[in-house]
Structure 1
Amino acid sequence: MSSKPILDVNDIPKPGQWLTLSLQHLFAMFGATILVPYLVGLSPALALISSGLGTLAFLFLTKMKVPAYLGSSFAYIAPIIAAKSAGGPGAAMLGTFIAGLVYVIVALVIKMAGYRWIMKLLPPVVVGPVIIVIGLALSGTAVGMAMNNAAGKYSLLHFSVALVTLAATIIFSIYLRGMLSIIPILAGIVIGYIYALIVGIVDFQPVLKAHWFEMPQFIIPFVSYKVKFSWDIVLLMAPVAVVTISEHIGHQMVLSKVVGRDYIKDPGLHRSILGDGTATLISSLIGGPPKTTYGENIGVLAITRVYSVYVIAGAAIFAIVFGFIGKITALIHSIPTPVMGGVSILLFGIIASSGLRMLVDSKIDFGDKRNLVISSVILVIGIGGAFIKVSDKFQIQGMALAAIFGVLLNLILPGKPQVDENMFNIEESAENHKTA
């Protein structure tokens, strides 16, 4: 049973309390949400605006029953970079739209046929290794950002900035308690930024010159770019979308445990998946990255016992406002690369470790050759960078290809185990998947 809430789901806080509690959620998601666009070359301002609009859409579609905040998804970093390098920002936005569309289609199927089919299609032995691939495939990017200067050459000074940032992030994550343990990424970025200022690798002039109000450069279809459908982009993004839907289910189970409600049944998994997909669709229409529910904000709910959807909505409105404040956008752009590299080393490692934890929690038996084969193929194809060239511009690669192989092997190989019905028990599943 969950503890008695201080503010329940539909309780409206007092104005001063509302402001403070909403800012807590903003800080919890801020570091990770701006890191994704930083890595893929999109606008952090648009990431903030789209996360706010997406969260408000999610709350509306879930009937104001599910207190979840949606931020930038790390799972799509490599596919977005691939799409962007091949076809520019327009291709990346089309890919994001396709990812959102996959969510909408799955939501409709779940509405008609229930949700057990997707858990059978994507069991832990498939999803766990794919999540490991998502983290480890980005490890080279994180290390390069941490060690190299602007010219791409090794710099001990820049590496020291990354190490200070990493150390601060670890300290906040491990040794501090309460709210401070929920914002290790933001705290690490702040401390790393201060150290970078001290050693002189921050150019603060753009922040001083920036206007307080500044209109972001929205990336709008048919206005900013010509929309050209491509099956190559579908093959690049759709497999990752299917895997992240499985993660979404896990988040809803954890949230159900924290809040003390069964969100799989009411308002229904189809509504939360639809909300997640709609947030990603909105993001694709203005230039933001794909969206996902954030474990950091679920952690805030667990610590504060404030489950009010109005607090979440307040955080979403703050995110939208912050996206139009030029000095904040300029400050984000002034963060040195090694600072982001330092937090990325830990963050990408945590993503990989969460996949490993899924395998452990699900008691996957690697003495079973079937499990060993599926996970081995996924890991080597995903981390090794295998690809299938679809055309001169696009190819199925990395985690997308690994996910496809994992799903196919799970369907084809004999000895497929029965789905454990306990995974549909909210109390047990939430306990097994609970995150810090």
Structure 2
Amino acid sequence: MKNQPILDIKDIPKPSQWLTLSLQHLFAMFGATILVPYLVGLSPSIALISSGLGTLAFLLLTKWQVPAYLGSSFAYIAPIIAAKKEWGIGGAMLGTFLAGLVYVLVALIIKKAGYRWIMRLLPPIVVGPVIVVIGLALAGTAVGMAMNDPSGKYSLLYFSVALVTLAATIIFSIYFKGMLSIIPILAGIVVGYIYALIVGIVDFKPVLEAKWFELPDFVFPFVHYQVNFTWDIALLMVPVAVVTLSEHIGHQLVLSKVVSLNYIKEPGLQRSILGDGTATLISALVGGPPKTTYGENIGVLAITRVFSVYVVAGAAVIAIIFGFVGKITALIHSIPTPVMGGVSILLFGIIASSGLRMLVDSKIDFGDKRNLVISSVILVIGIGGAFVKVTNSFQIQGMALAAICGIVLNLVLPGRPNETGDDMFAEMTENPQIDEAYENEKV
């Protein structure tokens, strides 16, 4: 059978296979997971450790039934940069913690009231344009990293490194099959790094001098920073959870199709959302970026047909171990900025394009003035950087304001389709088991 697993959810792999299978998941998430902290100025080693801890927490809270890996979330890049600039590392971590709490709250509500309400609150016409905003708002960052030298001046040499990295990433993504098509980010970084070594812009000395074992730079609340809550931090970070929640639901639906199980019903959407939120809370407490389930690792599951949660747990353990290996940390820090810039050009574009894909897949009709108004307002407010300043210490800006405006417009404008959310949910899944579970919930 096509969907017959090689290893099922609770199957334990042979010791000779376990390491190899887990390393595949590690490679799939590695490039994107270290890129986020690289961009926002956090520790890549802490990002690895927190991704491992977060994944183990997720597996535990989902009763060891959902083989998902959680890595760094790209949606929070711009808010974290803004939070660090305004309030330092403490503000960024507090905002991350608050975003995790949103997940916990939503999980509790879903447990009591079901999940149809969230489908109505976050339809594709709202989430799609907001995802586009997330990608395009970061475009300037990616281009700046690609073209400029460390002093901030244009450099053709540095730009050539970015272009080689970008070309390699595209080639791996389009022309290669199997695992290499799942890890184009990591493969592109490796090619770009080698080219950067050849042209002489890599300082490899710190890697040679680094210790094998090194304690990472953990960032703990009340130890490394004081926790000072402000509404500005909450309004900067929390609205992004609206988008990542939709991303989470989408991943659970896709994962349900891949493994032929109904994760919406068992262990339940509330448990997977709680696991995602808990992973983000853990990350905030140790100094890492927010977490999200990774589509790359779902791709690994689909290709290998190895669904074992023990394989995913093995990848999490290896990630934690790697976070304490000083040479790996030093190697990550030695990656030149244009290498990351080249990868970012594609990645941020893919984020924006995935928003467009959501609109296309959901068959959003832009001949309908209602849809045109909602998407137009979200795009211009989000990309234009509009903000509402109530007081000097209280303002809503950029992506947060765009998301809020989109939600409000969708709720108040006449002609809103799918008042019960039924049709929209049916469009998001073609799995008969999930459809049946949804019908049971309605009954």
* Fold shared, TM-score > 0.5 on shorter chain: yes
Partner of 2:402: helix, strand, or coil? helix
Give the conservation status (yes or no) of the 8 Å contact 1:128–1:358. yes
Counterpart CA distance in 2 for 1:144 and 1:430 is 44
Query: 1:360-379 to 2 correspondence within 5 Å?
Result: 360-379=360-379
Query: 1:80-91 to 2 correspondence within 5 Å?
Result: 80-91=80-91
1:340-385 CA distance string (max 9 Å, x none): 0000000000011000000000000001100000000000011111
Structure 2 counterpart of 1:420, which letter?
M
Q: CA deviation at 1:420?
A: 2.9
Q: CA deviation at 1:428?
A: 7.3
- 1:290 aligns with 290
Give the conservation status (yes or no) of the 8 Å contact 1:232–1:391. no
Give the conservation status (yes or no) of the 8 Å contact 1:253–1:426. no
Give the conservation status (yes or no) of the 8 Å contact 1:422–1:429. no
- Say which of 421, 426, 440 aligns to 1:422: 426
The 1:185–1:69 alpha-carbon spacing in structure 2 relative to 1, beyond 3 Å, is same
- 1:230 aligns with 230
- 1:65 aligns with 65
- 1:141 aligns with 141
Give the conservation status (yes or no) of the 8 Å contact 2:262–2:433. no
Partner of 1:420: helix, strand, or coil? helix
Partner of 2:388: helix, strand, or coil? strand
Query: 1:10-409 to 2 correspondence within 5 Å?
Result: 10-392=10-392, 395-409=395-409
Give the conservation status (yes or no) of the 8 Å contact 1:262–1:426. no
Q: CA deviation at 1:398?
A: 1.8
Counterpart CA distance in 1 for 2:348 and 2:7 is 33
Moved over 4 A (4+): 428-431
Give the conservation status (yes or no) of the 8 Å contact 1:255–1:430. no
Partner of 1:339: helix, strand, or coil? helix
The 1:111–1:424 alpha-carbon spacing in structure 2 relative to 1, beyond 3 Å, is farther
- 1:434 aligns with none
Q: CA deviation at 1:395?
A: 3.7
Q: CA deviation at 1:423?
A: 3.7
Give the conservation status (yes or no) of the 8 Å contact 1:257–1:430. no
Counterpart CA distance in 2 for 1:302 and 1:34 is 23
Counterpart CA distance in 2 for 1:372 and 1:428 is 32
Give the conservation status (yes or no) of the 8 Å contact 2:362–2:427. no
Q: CA deviation at 1:389?
A: 2.7
Q: CA deviation at 1:430?
A: 9.6
Q: How many pairs were matched up?
A: 431
Structure 1 counterpart of 2:202, which letter?
V
Normalized against structure 1, the TM-score is what? 0.97
The 1:390–1:221 alpha-carbon spacing in structure 2 relative to 1, beyond 3 Å, is farther
Normalized against structure 2, the TM-score is what? 0.95
Counterpart CA distance in 2 for 1:223 and 1:423 is 48
Partner of 2:239: helix, strand, or coil? helix
1:394-416 CA distance string (max 9 Å, x none): 64222111101100111111111
Counterpart CA distance in 2 for 1:429 and 1:194 is 47
The 1:153–1:204 alpha-carbon spacing in structure 2 relative to 1, beyond 3 Å, is same
Counterpart CA distance in 1 for 2:127 and 2:433 is 16
Counterpart CA distance in 2 for 1:251 and 1:76 is 18
1:65-109 CA distance string (max 9 Å, x none): 000000000000001011110000000000000000000000000
- 2:439 aligns with none
Give the conservation status (yes or no) of the 8 Å contact 2:119–2:424. no
Partner of 2:36: helix, strand, or coil? helix
Q: CA deviation at 1:237?
A: 1.1
